[in-house]
Every structure is written in C-alpha cells, then in structure tokens.
Structure 1
Amino acid sequence: MSNVVDSQRVVSFIRDLYKEQDFIPLHAPIFKGNEAQYVNDTLASTFVSSVGAYVDKFEGAIKKYTNAKGAVATVNGTAALHTALHLAGVSSSDYVITQALTFVATANAINQVGAIPLFVDVCEQTLGLCPISLETYLDEDTFLNEGGECIDKKSGKRVKAILPMHTFGHPCDLDALIMIAKKHNLVVIEDAAESLGSFYKGRHTGTFGDYAAISFNGNKIITTGSGGMVLTRSLEDEKKGRHITTTAKTPHPYEYVHDQVGFNYRLANLNAALGCAQMEKLELLLKSKREIASAYKHFFVDTDYQFVAEPKNCRSNYWLNAIICPDEKSRQQMLEFTNNGNVMTRPVWTLINELPMYADAPCANDLPISQFLSKRLLNLPSSAIVE
C-alpha cells in the first residue's frame, strides 16, 4: 500500500472488519447477555427509580473491578464530575486546571460549581494533560500562600485542582501529574469517563486521584443508557457522595429532612440493572476492542496516518480508535468520503477554549499540541464485535 491511505481502501477495510455493507456507526452498544432479564426484574419488583438492589450491586461491581475504595452511581458522567468537584471543595471563582482537548462536559462540570477552567496543553503521546506544560505554569505563575493554597499570580485566584482526562481511554501520565499536584497542594480529579477497563502500570484509571468520574452513556464501552459513577479514595467520601446525590435527605420514617444542599443525581434501578448485565461481559468487550485496535494499527503501518496507540506502561480499553492525519485537508477528505459512504468517522472535539461560552477562560500557556491535534485527529468505528 502506498504511503497515503486511499479513502476507499479505508472504507473497504472497515467493512471487511465489521462484515457489514450497510451503515457502520462510530460506537454502538451491544446487548447480548442478561440485559432484558435484569431490567424485567426491576419492573416486576416495581423498584424502578433510585431505590433498588441493582444500584448497590452495580456500585459493588465497579468497586471490585477498579479496586476503588468507594463508588457512587449517578444519572450521568457530568453529574459524577460535578459531584466529584463538590466533594473536592472546589468553590466559586476557583481555577481548575484541565485540558482544552476534551469533551465539553469536563468544562461544563467545572462551570457548574462556579469555578473557572484554566487550560494547559496535552501530550501527543497520551492525548491527556501534559506534565511539562502543567509544571511550567505552576512553577512560574503560581505561589503557595501562608495557608498552603496555590494562588495564580496574575489574577489572585485560588488554583484548587487539576482535572486530567483519559482521552479515548488512553491513560494520562499519572505518576508525573500526581507528583506535580502534591508539590502545589492541588486536588486531583480524574475524568475517567472514557476509560473503564484502562490501566496505568497495572492499576485502574480513576484510582490515582482523590476523586474520579466514569460515564456509562450509550456510546461508552458499557452502558446503563445514561449513567455515571464517582470513584472515591475513602468510604467516608463514598458516604458523603451518596448523601449529596440523594438530595441530602436524612433518614426518617416519614418526614422530609434535608441537612445541606444536595443533588437529585442517584442512578435509577432500571439503568443499574442494565449496567450489571453489561459488566458481566466487560472482559469480552475489552478483548474484542483490543483486537480491533490491533487490526487498525497494522492497517495504518507504513502510511502517512499515525494510529494512536496506548502509551507506554499502559493498557488501554481503546474506547475510540483514532488516527492522526497528515494535515487538516487530508482529514477533511477522509471525513467526507467515509461519512458519504455510510461509514461513520468523526473529528476530535473543538478545543474548549474556542467555544463561545469558554472563549474568555484563561490558558496557562500556549496550546500547540492541542491545536495540532484538533486539526488532525480522526476517530474510526470502534464498536466491539461479539458473536
């Protein structure tokens, strides 16, 4: 094959991979297990809302799989992020350092607590928050006050947390990020929305920071239809998270007593039942997705398109496979040809700092890698193949 991949050959390869001549989606859920049985169980029990056995069971399954200390099921991943930020003590007008190359929910959750996203660049190797860019900003443009708080020199605002995102399921450079955060007294909240089944040096993503959020949206590796999970490092934080996500209601036989501002974020039993069934075949899905990633990687060898592989010392779930195109023009040509041919591909998200509602949000420094990737990254069909 020549160095420049012909779009028709890409479409043919994907159709052969999926053995499908009709529309091929970017990422579709697979329901070939106990989903119907468990959902019907909830209907028979009449416990279809936020009280029910499957909610607790689903939390337990995620805790066991990730080895997290605590897990709190929420209605979606954004709610999980919002809850994590709230538990972390992020306040109005605080800065939360994150990446501009992410899904908008990352910044929306920061905004939801009244805080301000502050953008630093990403690494080309991980697509996640760059430790060098992060450390440069913190060393040069912040200081610790007498109370040990990290303060931005220019604005005087408190820098409270870093919020790295494991893009497409590929783990960030967690060791470096955690070390830098400790040096500057910052809370670490992992946006692990896309990385269920991804491991960094043998340990599951979402268990390195103080808090983390996972998503179970319909397009994720497993789904509850709509759902999320807060991971915590202590049972005490798990207890607090469960309390505030159930409207902070205190136990009472019949009175409505609430002891603080809370959120109506508890996952419904119906959704949790779906999640329990999906968890039963997570390993099968991961195996398939890694096989698909391997096929893509082999296909794009010796071409001008760089396949995005898992970082060193990591095991990625390859939630969405991606390539880096030679330039913006070649990506646009690939997008148009594949989508016109009923094979769904997608460009990476618009950088958050380029969206109108975040145009005034600060950037700690230049974002050359983020800008480079925003013009060249392209996602390929990544649904698992399960017979």
Structure 2
Amino acid sequence: MNNNKMIPLSVPNLSLDILENVKETIETGWVSTGGRFITEFEEKIAKYVGVEKAVSCQSGTAGLHLALRVLGIESGDEVIVPTVTFIVAVNPVRYMGAESVFMDCDDTLNMDMDKLEEFLENECDFINGKVINKKTNRVIKAVIVVHVFGNPANIEKLMEIKEKYNLKVIEDATEALGSYYLEGKYAGKHCGTIGDIGVYSFNANKIITTGGGGMVVSNNKELLDRVAFLGVQAKTNPLYFIHDEVGYNYRMSNIQAAFGVDQIDRLEGFIETKIRNYNLYKEAIENIEGLRLLPFRADTRANHWFYSVIVDKEKYGIDRDELLRKLNDNNIKTRPLWGLIHRQKPYIENQAYKIEKAYYYEENLINVPCSSNLSEEDVEIVIENLRSYKE
C-alpha cells in the first residue's frame, strides 16, 4: 500500500495558545533562567504528580546527574541500571566517576526485579549496611529504574529490595509522566514519586514538551533544595558570587517553562488520545498473524507513550528489519528498540548480569507511530501497511 503522507513516530502536540505566554516572556525580557513561568510550571507539575515540590532543570539527563550527585554517588561506586533503556539513563553514572552494573528486562521491558534480587543475594555481600559486589569489590549504592515507554516498573518489589539492602532508588520517569499505579501499596502514586528521587523529561518527542527541559521531584525537601542549589552554579552567596562547591548551569529557561504551563494542562487529553489509538492498533494487530502489540500493565494507568510491536518472522513472513525498512520507505516512521547499553562501546567492560530476555526484544521489537495528534486515519494507514506486508 503506497502512502504519500509522512506519518511521524512521535512529535510534539502544540497549540498556538502558547504564543501568548511566549509573547509575555519577550515583552518582559524574562527569556532566560528567571521568570514567573518557571515557578508556575514547577508548581503545576508538583500538583499533577502529587508532591509538595518540583525543581526544573535543563533536561532529563541533567536531572539524573543532579539526582546521583545529591544521593551521594561517588567515584568508585556502582549503580545498578537496566540494559533496555536510552543511553542517557546510564551516562550520568559515569559523569560521577561511578560504574554501572547492567540488569536484564522482564516482559514489560522494565528491569527484571527477580533477577535484581537474585544478583544482590548471590553476587553481593551485605556488610555494615553496604552492598559489596563480590566480583568488583565495589560498593553498590543505588538502582536507576526506568519506566520504559511509560509502562510502570514493578516498583513495589523494588522498594522492598531497597529497604532490605539499604539502596537508593532513582526513578527515571522521563517517559512516564502521567503513568500511575492503580493497585497495591502504591495505588494512586505517580511514577517518579515513590523512590528517593524521580526525574521527568520534556524533550520534543515526550508526551508533553518544552522543546527540552526536565523536572526533578522527591518527597525529601532537603534533596530537592540541594538539586536546586547545584543546578544554579551552587551560589552560596548570590549577591557576592560566592561558590563553596562545584555546581552546574542546569537551569530551565522561562521560554521553555512558558511552553510547559500550557502543555501540562493538555496532558490528560493527550493520554486519552494515546490510549484510544493504542486500542485501535491492538484490535487490528490481534488479527495479523505474526505480530503482537506489547500490553501495558493492567494494574496501572500507563500514559501509553510508545507502542511496541513484536515481529515473529516465521509467522509474519518477514523479519523485524525488513518491516522497518518497508514502513520507513513508505513514509511511516518507525524505529527499533535501542541497542542494549551493556553492548555499547563505553560499557562493554562493565558487568552485565544474566542478560537474556533483552536480546529477544532488541531483535524483534518495532515502535510504530504514536503521537498524541495521530489521527484515526493515520492509524488505519499504518495498520493497512502491516496487513499488506503479511499478505
């Protein structure tokens, strides 16, 4: 089926109403790292996810870097991370001079908490409140859990592990704004608000965007105060420019926040559209032999940020890579799963524990168009192409 219309993978859903906010930043001169929209955006995010305070920053990556810093991760430490993620979830560990230990995924694409527990029990010693990696003799201080594609991870099991082993938990919720738990101990809690610290991203492909930018949340006000302090160059005395430690230029601009205060008000509508389109895909793909749409966890309200289709070459007739080429050649923008991080050049020497399931998803997964402004007509075009390649 030939398609002349370009159907993007995931693009911003912007309204011209934002221009009034941007106009105000220009008229007042508050275009940089001060201005009322920054405070308003922080307050709106905090209220939406149900925390007392949120601190804005330059990007999700900056937020993760600050999180590691304020949680005391130091050179020579180790942090447990997923191999199924975008590499920016892992790089900040190296910024701190620490090293990553890579964990496999489960069938939600999130970190396999059973393997995490097995690793800590069998491959580590727990001495004087510290986890010591037997292989490297390094202290493991934290776990970074990524809520992949907006699908909430098994946070209840992770928090039990955290308490047992005295570990810090950083929630990389950069893809999961709007995802929350419906059942269990954390029913009603948003992704990002349960661990020691959580981070959101507003990159252009995320569910809401400020063009760039991120947000850090925590139930620990002292941690957030430190995040705010370090993110503005650690000014101990702003008037006389006294700096007692090294900080970062990680501030969000007022123009970015001007976008954010409008976008956050539209988030629930975006999620509603994403769920509707996901269900359209689901109904159709169930009838295409050899394709399977990955589900979101039933005990959560996931934001349905990205849709993942699994390709069974034997039953579908072509493999994932050929399907990718055909769709992209026909103006339907699709992509594979990220290359597993433990096999990326900067991390090939790092420890990786029993990576198995991740290989299957790396080889067979494709992400299909999922923008919040994707029309039902566009979904039908994608589905018709998926059917035609099977035929």
Q: TM-score, normalised by structure 2?
A: 0.91
Which residue in 2 is equivalent to 1:293? 278
Question: For structure 1, which segment, 160-169 or 29-38, has the greater mean C-alpha deviation from structure 2 after superposition?
Answer: 29-38
Q: Distance in 2 between matches of 1:155 and 1:221?
A: 39
Aligned-residue offset at 1:311: 1.0
What letter corresponds to residue 359 of structure 1 in structure 2? I
1:98 to 54, 73, 81: 81
Contact kept? 2:80, 2:101, Cα under 8 Å: yes
Aligned-residue offset at 1:385: 2.5
Find the residue that maps to 1:226 and give its secondary structure.
Answer: coil
1:142 to 107, 124, 131: 124
Q: Distance in 2 between matches of 1:240 and 1:287?
A: 36
Runs (5+) with no aligned partner, structure 1: 1-7, 16-20
Q: Kindly indicate whether residue 336 of structure 2 is the aligned counterpart of residue 337 of structure 1.
A: no
1:257 to 218, 226, 242: 242
Q: Distance in 1 between matches of 2:93 and 2:284?
A: 39
Aligned-residue offset at 1:245: 0.3
Q: Distance in 2 between matches of 1:252 and 1:220?
A: 34
Aligned-residue offset at 1:320: 1.0
Contact kept? 1:38, 1:274, Cα under 8 Å: yes
Which residue in 1 is equivalent to 2:339? 350
Label 1:293 to 1:143 Cα distance change in 2 as closer, same or farther (>3 A): same
Q: Distance in 1 between matches of 2:232 and 2:245?
A: 11
Aligned-residue offset at 1:236: 1.9
Q: Distance in 2 between matches of 1:92 and 1:289?
A: 41
Which residue in 2 is equivalent to 1:165? 146
Q: Distance in 2 between matches of 1:339 and 1:85?
A: 38
1:361 to 350, 357, 361: 350
2:202 to 216, 230, 234: 216
Q: Kindly indicate whether residue 110 of structure 2 is the aligned counterpart of residue 128 of structure 1.
A: yes
Find the residue that maps to 1:384 and give its secondary structure.
Answer: coil
Aligned-residue offset at 1:136: 0.6
1:175-196 CA-partner distances (Å, limit 9, x unpaired): 0111112111100001101000
Q: Distance in 2 between matches of 1:278 and 1:170?
A: 21
What letter corresponds to residue 26 of structure 2 in structure 1? L
Q: Kindly indicate whether residue 365 of structure 2 is the aligned counterpart of residue 377 of structure 1.
A: yes
Aligned-residue offset at 1:380: 0.4
Contact kept? 2:210, 2:257, Cα under 8 Å: yes
Find the residue that maps to 1:299 and give its secondary structure.
Answer: helix
1:196-255 CA-partner distances (Å, limit 9, x unpaired): 0111233210011001111100110000101011111222222111111000113443x1
Quick one: percent identity of the two aligned structures?
A: 34
Which residue in 2 is equivalent to 1:269? 254
Find the residue that maps to 1:306 and give its secondary structure.
Answer: strand
Runs (5+) with no aligned partner, structure 2: 183-187, 376-391
What letter corresponds to residue 211 of structure 2 in structure 1? G
Q: Distance in 2 between matches of 1:170 and 1:285?
A: 16
Q: Kindly indicate whether residue 215 of structure 2 is the aligned counterpart of residue 234 of structure 1.
A: no
Contact kept? 2:151, 2:302, Cα under 8 Å: yes
1:143-170 CA-partner distances (Å, limit 9, x unpaired): 1222x11111121100000111011110
Q: TM-score, normalised by structure 1?
A: 0.92
1:240-282 CA-partner distances (Å, limit 9, x unpaired): 11111000113443x1111221111010111111111111211
How do 1:165-204 residues align onto structure 2 when only pairs under 5 Å count? 165-201=146-182, 202-204=188-190
Which residue in 2 is equivalent to 1:206? 192
Q: Distance in 2 between matches of 1:98 and 1:200?
A: 22
Aligned-residue offset at 1:307: 0.6
Question: For structure 1, which segment, 61-70 or 335-344, has the greater mean C-alpha deviation from structure 2 after superposition?
Answer: 61-70
Aligned-residue offset at 1:332: 1.0
Runs of 4+ in 1 over 3 A off after TM superposition: none
Find the residue that maps to 2:250 and give its secondary structure.
Answer: coil
Contact kept? 1:33, 1:277, Cα under 8 Å: no
Find the residue that maps to 2:160 and give its secondary structure.
Answer: helix
What letter corresponds to residue 66 of structure 1 in structure 2? V
Which residue in 1 is equivalent to 2:60? 77
1:154 to 135, 143, 151: 135
1:283 to 259, 268, 292: 268
Aligned-residue offset at 1:327: 4.2
